[in-house]
Every structure is written in C-alpha cells, then in structure tokens.
Amino acid sequence: MMLDVSNIQTFYGESQALQRVSLTLDAGETVCLLGRNGAGKSTTLKSIIGLTPPRAGEIRFEGQPIQGWPTHRIARAGIGYVPEDRRIFPGLTVRENLEVASRQRSGAAAHWTVDGILQKYEMLGERADQDGATLSGGQQQMLAVARSLMTQPRLLLLDEPNEGLAPVIVQQIGELIDDLSHTTTILFTDQSVRFALKHARRAYILEKGQVVHEATSEALKADPATQERFLSVA
Ligand SMILES: Nc1ncnc2c1ncn2[C@@H]1O[C@H](COP(=O)(O)OP(=O)(O)O)[C@@H](O)[C@H]1O
Ligand SMILES: [Mg+2]
C-alpha cells in the first residue's frame, strides 16, 4: 500500500473540517476524491501534505507514519502537491519555474528533468522563455503539475486540476493525468463525476468532512442515484 490515511480529524480553529476520513491508495493507482464545494477535498490533501496537520488519526506513506511532519519533509519523502490556486511564480519564465522546483528535489535519480519536461510537453517547451504569469489558466495548470514533478514524486496530489478551465483544456489535463498515471500514483479531487470516471480507477465521495461512499469508477458509472445524491453532475 502506498498511502494509508486512517481516521484523520482536521480542524480550522475549533471548527472540524474532517471527521475521521480514511482512504488508501495502492502503488500505481489513480484515485479521485469527489465531493461538492466545502466537502473537505482540499483539506484532505492539505492534511496529507502537512499544511493542515490532522489533530487525530494516522497517515502512512509507503508504510512510514508521516503525520506531524513539516510539509517540506513530506514533499521530500516523495509526495508532490498541486494546490487549487496553482501558484505559478510570477516574474519567472516557464523554464525558471521548473528550475526553481528542481533545486528542491531529493538526491534520488531524476526521472523528470527540466529539459525532459520541456521536450515531452510541447505546450510548455514552446513557451519555455515566456513569463509563467502570461500563460492561460490551462497552461498554468500544466506548468504547476510539471513543476510538482521536479521533486520526483511517487505520489501526486492534484487539487481540482480542472477548476475554471475550458472543456478543451480539461481534456488536455485528462490526457496529462493518464500519461502520468503510467509512472506515478495519483490522488486528484473533483466536484463533478464525469472527469473522475474517465481518469480514475476508484473514487471516494466526501460530504461534510466524511467519506460517505467508495466505489470503483465502473460501479459509480452504473449508479446515478449516488451521483445525484452527493455530486454536481456535469
Ligand atoms: N482556511 C480555512 N479556515 C476555516 N475554515 C475552512 C478553511 N478552509 C476550509 N474551511 C472549511 O472546511 C470545510 C472543508 O473545506 P475544503 O476542504 O476547502 O472543501 P472542498 O475542497 O471540498 O471544497 C468547509 O466547511 C470550509 O468552509
Ligand atoms: Mg477545494
């Protein structure tokens, strides 16, 4: 098992955002965390990466308990994270955005290199010397994902990679996830079910900070009642 999140409880001040959330990912899986706005998707990813450390529960990554570790240590252990807001470094070119991140990587042999990324993903390669802030929303998302690869993650956390993007770009992000899923274990979040069913093998549905449903994509596809109950169908 690559990731084992067990009964985590996460708070913002006195307000409890996660109520005993548990989920697991096997190595090589692509899994989606579904749920409406405010369900706790971002908080779950932030809890795993240590930005909102859970007050209770346990998180194991490749067998090692990581809860309580600072974010940089969790990242160095092999978990990449792309937040909802993407946070491209303005004033840096596309290449520089990648280079800055690559300096932070661990000593492990590099599968992903700046030049390798710029060659493989033409859209970024063509814009290597352009200020990252001038990219479109979809291009920034591609760059944010590419940048997260610079630390050579074995597990990638993507928070609503489609948010606010046009359908044609959403398709490109889907292709990127499919491509990365050959080499990386991925946990991504989404509010609507269609993209998740297409690109993830399994899904967990969150509501009010709790996992209320867990299913393979095939099972969820055949279960419109659950989709309607817990998700925005788009
Ligand atoms: N920084 C914050 N401070 C206080 N409450 C927050 C904060 N971020 C999120 N919350 C609350 O935690 C709950 C889960 O939010 P979030 O994880 O962002 O949900 P989602 O990503 O599924 O939309 C919501 O009730 C939200 O209002
Ligand atoms: Mg969110």
Domain count, the chain: 1
Question: What pLDDT score does 104 carry?
Answer: 53
- At 5, which helix (H) or strand (E)? strand 3-12
Domain membership of residue 117 (yes or no) is no
> Got the DSSP string for 193-216?
HHHHHHH-SEEEEEETTEEEEEEE
Mutation to probe ligand 1, out of 42, 55, 160, 230 (largest number of atoms < 8 A from CB): 42
Q: What is the layout of strands, in order, in the sheet containing 30-34?
A: 79-82, 155-158, 185-190, 30-34, 202-207, 210-216
Question: What pLDDT score does 103 carry?
Answer: 65
Domain membership of residue 116 (yes or no) is no
Q: Is the Cβ atom of 154 under 6 angstroms away from ligand 1?
A: no
Ligand 1 atom showing the smallest separation from residue 209 Cα:
14
Domain membership of residue 97 (yes or no) is no
> Got the DSSP string for 119-180?
HH-HHHHTTTTSBGGGS-HHHHHHHHHHHHHTT--SEEEES-TTTT--HHHHHHHHHHHHHH
Domain membership of residue 183 (yes or no) is yes
Query: In this structure, which amino acid lies at residue 121?
Result: Y
Domain membership of residue 7 (yes or no) is yes
Question: What pLDDT score does 233 carry?
Answer: 55
Task: Supply the CATH number for residue 188's domain.
Answer: 3.40.50.300
Domain membership of residue 223 (yes or no) is yes
Q: What 3 state SS string does 49-98 have? A: HCCCCCCEEEEEECCEECCCCCHHHHHHHCEEEECCCCCCCCCCEHHHHH
Q: Are strands 79-82 and 202-207 parallel, antiparallel or unpaired?
A: unpaired
| Number of residues in the chain | 234
- Residue 187's domain comprises 3-87+152-230
Q: Is the Cβ atom of 17 under 6 angstroms away from ligand 1?
A: yes
Q: Is the Cβ atom of 42 under 6 angstroms away from ligand 1?
A: yes
- At 41, which helix (H) or strand (E)? helix 41-49
Domain membership of residue 159 (yes or no) is yes
Query: Which two structure tokens, joined as six digits, stand for 180?
Result: 């990365």
Query: Which two structure tokens, joined as six digits, stand for 132?
Result: 């990252």
Domain membership of residue 140 (yes or no) is no
Question: What pLDDT score does 90 carry?
Answer: 84
Residues of the chain with pLDDT under 50: none
Q: Identify which of 33, 80, 43, 37 has the alpha carbon closest to the alpha carbon of residue 61.
A: 80
